[in-house]
Amino acid sequence: MPLALITGASRGIGAATARALADTHSLLLGGRDLVALQALADELPDARPWPVELTDPAALTAGTSGLSSLDVLVHSAGVARVGPLTEATADLWRTTYEVNVIAVVELTRLLLPALRSARGQVVLVNSGAGRTANAGWGPYAASKFALRAYADVLRAEEETSGIRVTSIYPGRTDTAMQKIVRADEGGDYQPDNYLRPESVATAIRTAVLASDDAHLTELILRTRPTR
């Protein structure tokens, strides 16, 4: 089976994506929580943990060194904190960019030869904040706008290699990260108001399984109003 590497696979959208691709791909499950990654791997037919620290360049180099061919790379790992710019410290900006942008850029760079070999696909889980920046979302929105620009450049540069590059823009999704965001905002957490991780994973699966002549460059998801 083709091989897919999914970051942020221990929970949320990443875990849902692993389950969505499990019947069509062998899986490398990226994340920090080895216990959660192993539990997920145990429930899937052909999956194994890939516990690599994404912000450690040496760890990334070591973790990717044995991959000569890769069909799908899904960037699902990310961090988000919200609050006014007056409270967004330099450390918060650095951390947000390290995880949401620089880790994505470096992991993709290291895996480009493997992706080219397979005429593979890079899927970047962006955000509605990567298209519209609102008050309180400074570092996060800026990082997602940067991720959008990176995807556009990567798509243009790799057009002749056959690599497909897809940006997914989900609205608010029922994840652990969303709970942190709502706590920062001081609001109640109502899961039914948000997209399910499985819904985002279905969109990712659609892009990955698109026929060879098709290149889904962007998919935007919003919550459907309840009746």
Please report, for residues 47, 185, 189, 206, 218, the alpha-carbon distance to residue 104 in angstroms, rounded to integers and kept in the order given: 21, 27, 29, 22, 17
Nearest Cα to Cα of residue 208 among 111, 71, 114, 104 = 71
Q: How many CA atoms lie less than 13 Å away from 26 in the CB half-sphere?
A: 8
Q: Mind telling me the catalytic residues? A: 140
Cβ 58 vs Cβ 49: under 8 Å: no
- Give start and end residues of each alpha helix (H) in the chain: 12-21, 34-43, 57-64, 90-97, 103-118, 138-157, 176-185, 197-208
